Structure 1
């Protein structure tokens, strides 16, 4: 009667969680590792939610450091001060268009062929702009990084800075490729047209003799 029953102490079972799966290996044409690609796509969601103000700040910084480039934009080339540019609806619309193109490029990294198609088309379209030079693409690199840093704030870590630098360089290289392809196509077409024109003149001369 005086005995006390004691509960045997049960050892708490440890739940071992499985290791998270490694991201799928990226296309070898991408300069990012699987983890870097995963991180930037995740980080970019913060930019997507503020795509217009990020783009406006990017262009304001672009013109701050390269004032002459604003003359390429007929819709807002008259904007000379930082405040005028920041408040311009025309500039905001263009900034949103550019950032949306970058957005599409980053989100399509799982389909690299589509990624190249999109950015090559962007490069080719700039070949039609009077006075535009392919070197101008690179002038957006630093303003882009500064704009992303401002938007992400403390989420823009040293690691993310490195990833964004690799990414924007790759994006711009691809856009420049598109510009150069359009340039080459135009050159080939001009040569072809000149040959056809010469042959036509020769034919007329022969018939007239």
Structure 2
């Protein structure tokens, strides 16, 4: 008698607090490997694009407020360091996305940390949304499909929502 091929079991359901299904998580984490190899460059690109369209935000950063041109921003070690720091947090979230309690706390704690920056408001987090997507698209090149665009848009909205919550929640200890 011939072997019977059984359909693989469906993936386990994801935590309802995540805006992803199991396949989207898999694709996000797989795609992210291409970003992870270029965290610094992607982070710099993201901040250059954000500052190009939001010069008022650049002025909030004491270490880069005197950088006026795109070239100065691209070559500055402080921009690279901050871009890497931000991308490291994003990497930590994506790498551990299925550990929902951990990533929710990480995102909210990161949001809380921003309370100490004079002039920074929670709504400013959303200024990084489009630059993040553009930087990821540049880094991934033709690996950035329409499907990945949807997944990264869901991800960045999820991240920014929780950063904003962390900064604005009044029952949080900083």
TM-score, normalised relative to structure 2: 0.93
Which blocks of at least 5 consecutive residues in structure 2 are unaligned?
A: none
Q: Which residue number in structure 1 is paired with residue 95 of structure 2?
A: 107
CA distance in 1, matches of 2:26, 2:12: 9
Structure 1 residue runs without a partner (length 5+): 1-13, 189-209
Relative contact order, CA 8 A, sep 6+: which one is greater?
2
Write the mapping of 1:28-67 to structure 2, written as runs, cut at 5 A: 28-67=16-55
Asked if residue 73 in structure 1 is aligned to residue 61 in structure 2, the reply is yes
Count of matched residue positions in the alignment of Structure 1 and Structure 2 = 173
Contact 1:58 1:143 in 2 (8 A): yes
Match of 1:159 among 136, 147, 150: 147
Shift of 1:24: 2.2
After superposition, the CA RMSD in angstroms is 1.9
Specify the alignment match of 1:148 in structure 2: 136
SS in structure 2 of the partner of residue 86 of structure 1: helix
CA distance 1:20–1:50, shift in 2 (3 Å)? farther
Larger gyration radius, structure 1 or structure 2 = 1
What do the CA deviations read for 1:89-136 (whole angstroms, capped 9, x no partner)? Answer: 111001000010111111111100000110011000001110001110
Per the normalisation by structure 1, the TM-score is 0.78
Query: Is contact 1:56-1:91 (8 Å) kept?
Result: yes
Divergent runs of 4+, >3 A: 14-22
Q: 1:17 to 1:91 in 2, by over 3 A?
A: farther
Q: How far apart, CA to CA, are the structure 1 residues paired with 2:6 and 2:165?
A: 43
1:170 aligns with 2:158: yes
Contact kept in structure 2, 1:23 and 1:38, CA below 8 Å:
no
Seen in structure 2, the aligned counterparts of structure 1 residues 15 and 55 have a Cα distance that, compared at 3 Å, is farther
- Listed one character per residue, the Cα deviations across residues 37-92 of structure 1 (whole Å, up to 9, x for unaligned) are 11101111111111000000000000011011111111111101000000001110
- The 2-side partners of 1:60 and 1:142 are apart by 12
Deviation at 1:19, TM superposition (A): 4.3
Offset at residue 18 of structure 1 (A): 5.4
2-structure distance, mates of 1:19, 1:104: 33
